[in-house]
Amino acid sequence: MKRSPLRRATPLKRKKPLRVRRVKAAKDAVFARQVKERDHWECQLTMLHPNPCRGRMQCCHIFGKQAYPHLRYVLENALTGCASGHLYGTYRPFEWYEFVRQLLGKEEFESLRRRAMGLEKATVTG
């Protein structure tokens, strides 16, 4: 019995080269350190989640890096939070945005939201 070669309808998507991923990881680490130092290495999410802070401090993006790549390195789009608070906010988006609106204030949150939607120019740091 002869086997026919299988062919894909679309070619496999290749990953980005390793050097590109390393550069992005290095930039992410520098940005995360800037955010944590700005917030004095303290969890800003203590009022969001009912659990005590657990885990290492993380850089939490208000508007996600994947959905809004143009805000990835904008300091106003990031907070320092513990691992449990970050996870809590990730899986409860409505609570997350209400919390952030109260934390930042309505005007600053709306300005950031307009940047996310592309209605205002974002200023990149770093």
Residue 30 falls inside a structural domain: no
Query: From CA 101, how far away is CA 80, in angstroms rounded?
Result: 16
The answer to whether residue 52 is domain-embedded is yes
CA Rg, the chain, in Å? Answer: 19
For the stretch 27-67, pLDDT in tens is 999 999 999 999 999 999 999 988 888 889 999 999 999 99
In a domain, 74, yes or no: yes
pTM score: 0.78
Across 100-113, average pLDDT: 95
- Please say if the pLDDT value at position 82 is more than 90: yes
Question: Containing domain of residue 90, as a range?
Answer: 40-117
d(CA 81, CA 45): 6
Number of structural domains the chain divides into: 1
Residue 80 lies in a domain: yes
